[in-house]
């Protein structure tokens, strides 16, 4: 119930930096708009798109979550080296 309330009340806000967007290779056909367009509009510093195997719901389960972790780790390391 708490997640539902948070989802319904959350409002996206611009972020001044660069974002790494991890997308599932197996995308839902119901998506009417490319998610990268939404993120591009919010990220003042631009976006990096990373495609990983699996579907949207599967991404947080083995073995797919390993690919997500690798992409996020690489993005964090890249950011640390640029500082």
Decide the pairing of beta strands 19-26 and 47-55.
parallel
Q: Which residue is listed with tokens 């591009």?
A: 40
Q: What is the pLDDT of residues 16-66, one digit of tens each?
A: 999 999 988 887 665 556 778 888 999 999 999 999 999 888 888 999 999
On the CB side of 13, how many CA atoms lie within 13 Å of its CA? 4
CA distance 67 to 60: 10
For residue 40, give the nearest of 60, 23, 62, 59 by alpha carbon. 23
Q: Which residue is listed with tokens 């003042």?
A: 44
pTM (two decimals): 0.76
Q: Fill in the DSSP letter of residue 33.
A: S
């Amino acid at each position: 119930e708490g997640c539902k309330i948070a989802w319904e009340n959350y409002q996206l806000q611009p972020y001044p930096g660069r974002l790494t967007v991890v997308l599932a290779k197996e995308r839902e056909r119901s998506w009417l708009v490319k998610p990268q367009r939404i993120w591009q509009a919010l990220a003042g510093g631009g976006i990096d798109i990373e495609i990983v195997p699996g579907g949207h719901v599967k991404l947080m389960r083995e073995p797919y979550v390993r690919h997500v972790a690798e992409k996020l780790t690489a993005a964090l390391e890249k950011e640390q080296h640029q500082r």
